[in-house]
Amino acid sequence: MTTQPIAYPEDRDLIKFLFFSTFCLMVGTIHGVWQIQPPVREWLDSIGSPYGGPGHMIDPLAHAHMNLIGGVVTLCMAATYYMLPKITGVALWSRRLVFHTFWWTAIGLLGFYTTLMTFGVLEGNLLLAGDLEGMDEMHQLFKPVIATISTIMGVGFWVFFFNVFATIKKSYQKP
Ligand code: HEM
């Protein structure tokens, strides 16, 4: 069996974006099917989903971001990094920033999802146990954790913007 030479070997670092996007859509859709099962739905409704409280963290926040950022946005990032050099005729400003775009976004998204799911369950159980003080204490712990992990995820987006912007700027400066 003859294998075709890889047309754009420099783009192999985009494979991880494609795998991560597919993986997140799997997790996001399993989450979607899970949260609609009657006993789970009843539990989520009893802790405030989708309107507020701990339930809101699980549905829709964790579900929406796993599918939208993990599934869709990372695919858009890979497609942009693949198409831009071919459209502009210049190489990406930095392949190192491709690496940073992926890992800050991926680690941020997995941390964001895990934080929302963990605190959603913990605070939800405290709510159902009638321990409102305990739930509030837990939520005070949630705030710095979600703020930190959201910033990590945000860095991935901002590095992506800078690398795309610098590449387009470079393409307009080329002789
Ligand atoms: C660093 C990136 C991001 C962070 C930290 C973030 C954070 C949040 C937070 C805290 C909320 C909840 C607001 C509330 O309390 O209701 C929210 C809602 C939402 N976000 Fe994001 N977000 C980010 C990026 C995105 C992106 C890129 C998309 C879409 C592609 C998105 C889609 C949504 C949607 C659809 C909702 C509303 C969910 C609902 O209540 O129905 N987010 N986001």
Domain boundaries, the chain: 14-169
Which residue's C-alpha comes closest to atom 13 of ligand 1? 61
Pocket (CB within 6 angstroms of ligand 1): 60-61, 64-65, 68-69, 73, 150, 153-154, 157
Residues 114-146: pLDDT tens digits?
Answer: 999 999 999 999 999 999 999 999 999 999 999
Whether 112 and 150 have beta carbons less than 8 Å apart is answered as yes
| Percentage of residues of the chain with pLDDT beyond 70 | 98
What separation in Å is there between the alpha carbon of 150 and the centre of ligand 1? Answer: 10
160 CA to middle of ligand 1, Å? 18
Atom in ligand 1 nearest the alpha carbon of residue 153: 1
Using the structure block, give the residue that is written with the tokens 């709510």.
127
pLDDT at 81: 98
The confidence score (pLDDT) of residue 1 equals 62
**Integer angstrom CA distances of residue 163 from 2, 29, 120, 167:** 36, 31, 35, 6
Which of 5-9, 12-16, 100-104 is predicted with the least confidence, judged by mean pLDDT? 5-9
Minimum CA distance residue for ligand 1 atom 6: 150
